[in-house]
């Protein structure tokens, strides 16, 4: 039996990203994939390098391994789409990016994405009838695309894995490795039938992080995300125990 570090040995994963990707949403999953033994290619709309962001501030550049016109789904075992405000907005406008996602899905290969990344899934026309999550601010886009939107850390629906954002990176990475390894989803990642309602207010960790920029380091911002995500989950659990929500679609 393979140990954790070799769980993805022999696998080749494509990371579809372009300028404006959220730095931590690419760097953390890619580090985990490599630690698990996978080979990773950064696939983008153009060659050279792409620039990441920390929320709304410029971050590090990443080298592009292959351009999108050089690859096909048959070259890889799985697809990862990082989020960010800009990256998925640019990708969803690319016919080649949409076609590549459809190709992965058509072959039943695993697709993992988080934050605003599901925008690209919606633009492929494949979200209708699927269960997923995303950054809460684009919940309506997912529902309007025909998906069931769930306000939970991760959602696994067949070959798709989605997550809300950097506050959920720990469960996302855990479920991502399971997805690519062909393992079962955890109980907390399973889908439900009805969409969760819109949020009543923005996530507190996100507004706190924006106020700290540009002075805060990415490490501090990720810490705020993890703490804020836990506080928000506790708050939601408390409110749910006191009253039943009305699902909406």
Residues catalogued as catalytic = 115-116
52 phi and psi angles, rounded to 5 deg: -90, 175
| DSSP letters spanning 27-92 | HHHHHHHHHTT-EEEEEESSSSEEEEEETTEEEEEEE-SEEGGG--GGG-SEEEE---SSHHHHHH
Measured distance CA(67)–CA(175) in Å, rounded:
27
Measured distance CA(87)–CA(84) in Å, rounded:
6
User: Please, are residues 128 and 177 in contact by the beta-carbon 8 Å criterion?
Assistant: no
User: Please, are residues 245 and 230 in contact by the beta-carbon 8 Å criterion?
Assistant: no
User: Please, are residues 135 and 88 in contact by the beta-carbon 8 Å criterion?
Assistant: no
Residues 6+ apart with CB under 8 A from 239: none
Q: Where are the alpha helices (DSSP H) in the chain?
A: 23-35, 87-92, 95-106, 118-123, 139-144, 169-181, 204-212, 218-242
Q: Say if residue 214 is preceded by a cis peptide, omega within 30 of 0.
A: yes
């Amino acid at each position: 039996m393979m140990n954790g570090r070799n769980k993805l040995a022999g696998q080749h994963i494509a990371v579809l990203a372009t300028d404006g990707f959220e730095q931590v949403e690419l760097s953390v999953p890619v580090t985990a994939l490599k630690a698990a033994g996978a080979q990773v290619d950064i696939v983008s709309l153009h060659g050279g390098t792409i620039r990441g962001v920390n929320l709304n501030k410029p971050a590090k550049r990443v080298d592009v391994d292959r351009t999108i016109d050089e690859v096909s789904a048959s070259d890889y075992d799985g697809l990862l789409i990082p989020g960010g405000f800009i990256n998925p907005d640019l990708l969803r406008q690319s016919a080649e990016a949409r076609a590549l996602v459809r190709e992965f899905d058509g072959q039943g290969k695993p697709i993992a994405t988080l934050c605003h990344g599901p925008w690209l899934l919606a633009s492929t026309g494949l979200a209708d009838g699927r269960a997923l999550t995303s950054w809460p601010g684009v919940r309506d886009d997912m529902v309007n695309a025909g998906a069931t939107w769930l306000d939970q850390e991760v959602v696994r629906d067949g070959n798709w894995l989605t997550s809300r954002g950097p506050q959920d990176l720990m469960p996302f990475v855990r479920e991502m490795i399971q997805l690519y390894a062909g393992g079962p989803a955890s109980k907390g990642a399973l889908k439900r039938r009805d969409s969760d309602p819109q949020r009543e207010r923005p996530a507190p960790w996100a507004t706190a992080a924006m106020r700290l920029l540009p002075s805060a380091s990415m490490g501090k911002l990720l810490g705020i995300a993890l703490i804020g995500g836990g506080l928000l989950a506790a708050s939601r659990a408390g409110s749910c125990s006191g009253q039943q929500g009305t699902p909406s679609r």
